[in-house]
Amino acid sequence: MAENVWILGIDMTRFGRHKDKDTLDLGSEAALGALRDAGVGIGDIGVLAAGNLIGGNGFGQLLQKQIGQTGIPVYNVANACATGATALRVVVMAIKSGEVDTGLAVGVEKLSGAGLLTGNARKEEGGHWVRDGRYGAVAPLDGRVGTEIMPGVFAQIGMEYGYKYGGVDFELFARISEKNHAHSTLNPKAAYQKRFTLDEIMNDVMIAYPNTRPMCSANCDGAAAAVLVSETKLRTLSLEQQRRAVKISASVLTSDPWTEGCQVLPDINTLTRRAATTAYEQAGIGPADLDLVELHDCFATAELVHYDNLGLCEPGGAADFFRSGATWRDGSTPVNVSGGLQSKGHPVSATGIANVWEVATHLRGEAGPRQIEGARVGLAHVIGLGSACGVHVLERAAA
Amino acid sequence: MSRMPLVDYLVLDDEPHLVAAECTACGARYFDRRSACAHCGGVEFGSADVPTEGVLTTFTIVQFAAAGVEVPFVAGVVDCGGTSVRGNVVNTPPDPEHVTLGMRVRLTTVPVGTDSAGIEAVGYGFEPV
Ligand SMILES: [Zn+2]
C-alpha cells in the first residue's frame, strides 16, 4: 500500500496586478511562504515540480537559483490550465513511489493585460494560396471555420449542455457569474472583489455569447505553492504541524478519451467525469460528503457543466441544481467561495494549486470571514484545454 | 480551374460537400490528415461523404476576436447525420433570435478571397434550411 500524502504547508500570493514583481519574485514569494507555513526549509525538500507557461523554459531551476540550489531533481511541467495541478500530482507520485518523503510544487504566471490568449491574428493577405497544416488550409481558420478563442469555445460547451438537457439560457449563466463575484467580496486575495448585479453582468461587453466580460476568467498575476509530505514523515513532526496538515485523499489527472466530435469541439466532460469518479473511489467518499468545491469556472458557461461532471447534481440537472441555491456559500454544496476564476483571477499555472490552497484553508478553519464552518472534506478541480483534468480531494486532519 | 477549397475536406463540385477520413476498423471520422485512429489505433482510412444537412447542437456569437477577424460571427457545431462538424452559421443575422439550438441548417459555400494569380479560395458555412 502506497503512502498517504499530506499537505504540510501551502501558500498563494494575492492575485491581481503585481507591476513591480516578475515571475521569479512571485514564485519565490509563494514557495517561501509554503515552506514557512510547513515549518521546513528548502534543504528538507526532495523534489521540485514547477509550472510556468508564459515565462520561458527552465522556470524550476531559475526558481532554485533564488530560493535554494540543493541539487534535487526538478520537473518543469506544462498542462495548460491544469499545470499547477500537474505539478502537485508529480510531487504526490514521487512521494507515493517512496523515492522522497517531502516535495514542493509551485505554479506561477504573469498575465496582467494579456487579453485573449488564443485566436490567431490574421496576416496580411495576398500572394498565392498555399495549403498548410493538417487541414490543408489556405487561410487561417479562426473566424472562418468556428472560433479558437477560449470564451467562444467554452460558450459552446455550456450551450451544448443546454441543447442536451434544456432549461439553460443567458440569464442562468449570468447568475452563476453573479454568485462568484458576490463570493469574491470576502476574499482579500482575489484580483477583483466587486459585487455585480445581474443587470450589470448581462449588459456588460459581450465577448462571445452568452459570455460577457465579467463571465470570463480574469487574466492576472499570481503564484501558489505547496509542500507535501508522506504520512510516515508527518508522524515525526510536531503536533502543531500534524494538526494543521491536510490529507490528500485523492489525486487524479486525466486526459480526454476519444468520443465522437471531441476533435471538433473539445469535450471537457468525459475527462472530468473520469477524474471525479476515480477521485471519489480513491477517497472513499461521494459528492454528498463535500463541504466545499473549487471548480474550474474559467467561464460561467463552464461552471454549469462541471456541477454535472463532478456528480454534484443528478445527470442533466445542473440548471435546477444551481437555481436551488445549492452552490452559493450558504447552500448545500458551496462552489467557488473564493470567487472563482471569474473574480479571484486565473494566472494559469498557479490556478491548480491556488484552488487547493482555498480548500485547505477552509479545512484548517483559517479562512476568516469567508470560512465554511466545520468544513471537513473538499474538492479542487481544474481543466486545461487540450485536455487535462486534475481533481484533488482534501480532508482535514482528525482532531 | 480558378477556385480552390479553404480546407482539404471541402469538395467543390456541383454539390459542394465535406468529406471525412473514416477509420475502416471502427468508423470514427476525422477532418484532418491522420497518423492513426484516436479511437481504436487503426491506420487504414477510407473516405466518407458527410451529409450536407444537419442540426445545430451548439453555438456562440463571437463579438470580440483576434485582430483581423471580422465580428460578429456565429461559430457552432452541426450534427450532420451523426458526424459532428465545426463551422460558422451564415446567411442569417448573428443574434440569439435568429440562431437557436436545434435549428436545421445546410452546408453552403462562402468566398474567402482571391490571390494574386486570380485563384479564388472558397470556404463553407451552414445556413438555416
Ligand atoms: Zn478507429
Domains and CATH numbers, chain A: 5-114+218-396 (3.40.47.10)
Q: Return the HEC string of A30-72.
A: HHHHHHHHHCCCHHHCCEEEEECCCCCCCHHHHHHHHHCCCCC
Cα A266 to Cα A101: distance, rounded to the nearest angstrom? 37
Residue A296 annotated as catalytic: no
A53 Cα: distance to centroid of ligand 1 (angstroms): 33
Mutation to test the A interface, candidates B3, B4, B6, B78, most A Cβ within 10 Å? B6
Residue A81 annotated as catalytic: yes
Q: Is the peptide bond preceding residue A210 cis, with omega within 30 degrees of 0?
A: yes
Considering only CB atoms, which chain A residues are within 8 Å of B89?
A: none
A277 Cα: distance to centroid of ligand 1 (angstroms): 26
What is the pTM assigned to this prediction?
0.96
- Closest chain A C-alpha to B75 CA, distance in angstroms: 4
B39/A155 touch (CB, cutoff 8 Å), yes or no: no
pLDDT, mean over chain A? 95
pLDDT in tens, A262-301: 999 999 999 999 999 999 999 999 999 999 999 999 999 9
Say if CB A227 and CB A7 are below 8 A apart. Answer: yes
A122/B68 touch (CB, cutoff 8 Å), yes or no: yes
> How much is the average pLDDT of A352-381?
98
Cα A364 to Cα A371: distance, rounded to the nearest angstrom? 10
- Closest chain A C-alpha to B102 CA, distance in angstroms: 7
Q: Is pLDDT at A134 greater than 60 in this prediction?
A: yes
Coil, helix or strand at residue A207: strand
A208/B67 touch (CB, cutoff 8 Å), yes or no: no
- Closest chain B C-alpha to A152 CA, distance in angstroms: 6
Which of A183, A346, A362, A392 is flagged as catalytic? A346
pLDDT of residue A203: 98
- For chain B, the domains span 3-16+51-128
Nearest to B101 among A125, A162, A208 (CB): A162
pLDDT in tens, A194-220: 999 999 999 999 999 999 999 999 889
Task: Express as a percent the part of chain A with pLDDT over 70.
Answer: 96
Q: At what angle do helices A300-309 and A269-283 cross, to 10 degrees?
A: 50
pLDDT of residue A127: 79
**Other residues' Cβ atoms within 10 Å of the Cβ of residue B128:** 15
Flag the least confident range among A68-72, A129-133, A185-189, A330-334: A129-133
Query: Chain B residue closest to A155 (CA)?
Result: B60
pLDDT in tens, B43-55: 999 999 999 999 9
Residue indicated by cell numbers 463540385:
B13
Considering only CB atoms, which chain B residues are within 8 Å of A159?
A: 58-60, 101
Q: Return the HEC string of chain B.
A: CCEEECCCCEECCCCCEEEEEEECCCCCEECCCCCCCCCCCCCCEEEEEECCEEEEEEEEEECCCCCCCCCCEEEEEEEECCEEEEEEECCCCCCCCCCCCCCEEEEEEEEEEECCCCCEEEEEEEEEC
pLDDT of residue A298: 97
**Ligand 1 is a single-atom ion; what residues have CB below 5 A from it?**
B 23, 25-26, 28, 37, 39-40, 42
Considering only CB atoms, which chain B residues are within 8 Å of A216?
A: none
Cα A234 to Cα B79: distance, rounded to the nearest angstrom? 54
B69/A135 touch (CB, cutoff 8 Å), yes or no: no
A263/B32 touch (CB, cutoff 8 Å), yes or no: yes
pLDDT in tens, A135-172: 999 999 999 999 999 999 999 999 999 999 999 999 99
Q: At what angle do helices A23-38 and A59-67 cross, to 10 degrees?
A: 60
Q: Is pLDDT at A12 greater than 80 in this prediction?
A: yes
**Other residues' Cβ atoms within 10 Å of the Cβ of residue B39:** 18
Phi, psi of B53 (to 5 degrees): -115, 150
A156/B69 touch (CB, cutoff 8 Å), yes or no: no
Nearest to A208 among B30, B61, B115 (CB): B61
> Class for domain B3-16+51-128, per CATH?
mainly beta
